[in-house]
Amino acid sequence: MSSYVLYLAKFRFASSQRAHFAVFIPNHGDGDEDSNDVSVRPVGTLINVVGTAMTGYVLETKRNHDCRASADFETCVRLGTVQSKPTNARPKGTASHEGELLERLEEVAGRLPPPRKSENFLAPVNDLRQITNRRCQEWTIDYLRELARLGYIDRNAVQLAQAERDAPAHGIGLRPTATGRGD
């Protein structure tokens, strides 16, 4: 059974902002197959939700994406491996291809509703489903939980990603855009 390295990709323009989270899976055949270092295999599939708390989010998947080409790329954190077939999916000996795996992972992502428009976008975020102020970090954690529940990844990957989240009030609120008398 083939496995693929799974990363949490983090993007951020300024340390005062919340990080944007995405799941990143490097392409097979792109550099050293045995490497866990994303700098060796920087091109792959990025699965995330994009938008704002004021407008809501939509699912976005980018294939053959190079994280390093994004001006706001911060880092990729290795979460573990994703199995080409979950423990409960296919009979032993059945072949699996990378394209099929990515389609299945995208299908799982498509079943999770992206965060909707926030009722109070200045409130701290929370990953509890009854709280309405959810963003990309909370959706990504939900996505990883679902992949773990389905047997694609180890549950430890969820804990590793959870440790990377910003504090609930980090980057929330309005900040002045200029100093001075308001000219």
| Helices within the chain (DSSP H only) | 98-111, 136-149, 156-162
Residue 17 in any domain: the answer is yes
The predicted model gives 113-125 an average pLDDT of 77
Amino acid, res. 101: L
**What is residue 18's predicted lDDT score, i.e. its pLDDT?**
87
Residue 123 in any domain: the answer is yes
The predicted model gives 13-25 an average pLDDT of 92
Burial class of residue 140 in the structure, from the number of CB atoms within 10 Å of its CB (0-12 exposed, 13-18 middle, 19+ buried)? buried
pLDDT tens column, 84-108: 665 445 444 443 456 788 899 999 9
**Which residues have CB under 8 Å from 64's CB, separation 6+?**
27, 43, 44, 45
* Other Cβ atoms within 10 Å of 164 Cβ, number: 16
Q: Which residue has the tokens 């954690």?
A: 141
Q: For the ranges 54-58, 83-87, 136-140, which has the lowest average pLDDT?
A: 83-87
Residue 87 in any domain: the answer is yes
Residue 177 in any domain: the answer is no
The predicted model gives 37-50 an average pLDDT of 81
**Please, which pLDDT band fits residue 133 given cuts at 50, 70 and 90?**
confident
Based on its alpha-carbon atoms, the radius of gyration of the chain, rounded to whole angstroms, reads 18
Residue 64 in any domain: the answer is yes
Domain total in the chain: 1
Residue 46 in any domain: the answer is yes
**Structural domain harbouring 80:** 3-162
**What is residue 62's predicted lDDT score, i.e. its pLDDT?**
95
Rounded Cα distance, 105 and 96, in Å: 13
Q: What is the overall mean pLDDT for the chain?
A: 80
Rounded Cα distance, 146 and 134, in Å: 17
Quick check: 109 and 47 in contact, CB under 8 A? yes
Q: Which two tokens stand for residue 41?
A: 């295999």
* Other Cβ atoms within 10 Å of 155 Cβ, number: 12
pLDDT tens column, 142-170: 999 999 999 999 999 999 999 999 887 77
Quick check: 61 and 120 in contact, CB under 8 A? no
Quick check: 47 and 114 in contact, CB under 8 A? no
Rounded Cα distance, 59 and 76, in Å: 20
Q: What is the pTM of this model?
A: 0.80
Question: Which neighbouring-strand residues pair with 10?
Answer: 21, 75
**Please, which pLDDT band fits residue 34 given cuts at 50, 70 and 90?**
very low
Quick check: 84 and 1 in contact, CB under 8 A? yes
Residue 172 in any domain: the answer is no
